[in-house]
Amino acid sequence: MSLALPPGARVPDRLAWLNGRLVSGADAALSLYDRGARDGGGIFETLRINAGQPHEWQRHMERLVLSAAELGFPVPPSPRRLREALDELLAALSLRDAVARITVTRGIAGGRPTRTGCWIEAEPLAGRLWPGTRRGTGTSVMLPHAFSPGFVGRHKTTSRLAWDLAREFARAEGVDEALLVDKDGFLLEGGASNVFVVRDGEVLTPPLSRDVLPGIARALVFELCRALEVPCREADLPAGCMTWALEAFLTNSVQEVLPLSHVQGRALPETAIGEQLRAAYRARVLAGA
């Protein structure tokens, strides 16, 4: 069965894994009765694949399974089944350094037995790296309106319009990322990243209690800081912190650790701790940990 497409529309013809089998992009059709298609009722994981191996697989699976349970989703495929499917897809696409996305939808309401829908996509890494990631330092602006994620902000859901628009704002401004600030004036995260600032030798990041995503790379930075004996903790950060921060960096599973050279046009004086963490993160990836 082929997709009914609007005139002029093109879908990528790359293979994808959908509900148990490999299909071409053009045949990768989701029912319009699936709550993932109609209502943004889906959760997903975006993983970096290094030399054919997904980085931090276990943590990504934990977040996916936890979100599915907390949001009352039907039962998703088991992590073992998802790993087999991912390996099958990577092999079919001959991809070694890549970005994979695993999406689980709430499925069709009222079905028995109730199962989620699920698909996996993968594409070469190179096309997904931000200009700043390729350069080694990134740039960002503050989103000019208050952002209120609500409790869904703690989950990686497909209800992404507000975050996607923030990302598009960043692109239109010619920077890597837009930083989100809540109505009380506190820094939250980036449109697709977590944010850290450095003050008096301490690494600080907004608390999860502000409904930011518990990023996988964020969690890793906490671990790396511990290993490097760099103090690191959650702290409420007023948006104005970017005027006094000595340095700041972003984290994301694909971009890894990205030290910021500029925020809102201001050059940050230093990048040393961000660069140290970026190197430590890379070393961990290369060690296959």
| Cα separation of the two ends of the chain | 42
- 76 near 118, Cβ under 8 Å? yes
Q: Which of residues 191-250 bind ligand PLP (CB under 6 A)?
A: 192-194, 213, 215-218
Distance CA(193)–CA(142), nearest Å, equals: 13
Least Å from the CB of residue 145 to ligand PLP: 16
Between 137 and 205, CB nearer to ligand PLP: 205
- 170 near 151, Cβ under 8 Å? no
* Binding of ligand PLP by 133 (CB under 6 A): no
Q: How far is CA 59 from CA 18, 21, 56, 120, in A?
A: 22, 25, 5, 17
* Binding of ligand PLP by 189 (CB under 6 A): yes
Between 15 and 181, CB nearer to ligand PLP: 181
Q: How far is CA 227 from CA 31, 150, 234, in A?
A: 47, 33, 17
- 105 near 117, Cβ under 8 Å? yes
Least Å from the CB of residue 74 to ligand PLP: 23
Least Å from the CB of residue 100 to ligand PLP: 12
Q: Which of residues 244-283 bind ligand PLP (CB under 6 A)?
A: 251-253
Q: Is the dihedral of CA 131, 283, 64, 27 positive or negative?
A: positive
Q: Which of residues 150-179 bind ligand PLP (CB under 6 A)?
A: 163
How do beta strands 117-124 and 138-142 pair? Answer: unpaired
Report which residue's Cβ sits closest to ligand PLP.
Answer: 215
Binding piece for ligand PLP, criterion CB under 6 A, among 9-17, 86-94, 110-118, 189-197: 189-197
The token pair at 55 is 């980085």
Between 162 and 246, CB nearer to ligand PLP: 162
Q: Which of residues 31-90 bind ligand PLP (CB under 6 A)?
A: 46
Between 3 and 146, CB nearer to ligand PLP: 146
- Number of residues located near ligand PLP, criterion CB under 6 A: 14
Distance CA(188)–CA(177), nearest Å, equals: 13
Least Å from the CB of residue 97 to ligand PLP: 17
* Binding of ligand PLP by 116 (CB under 6 A): no
Distance CA(42)–CA(107), nearest Å, equals: 9
Between 57 and 92, CB nearer to ligand PLP: 57
- Catalog residues that contact ligand PLP under the rule CB under 6 A: 46, 163, 189, 192-194, 213, 215-218, 251-253
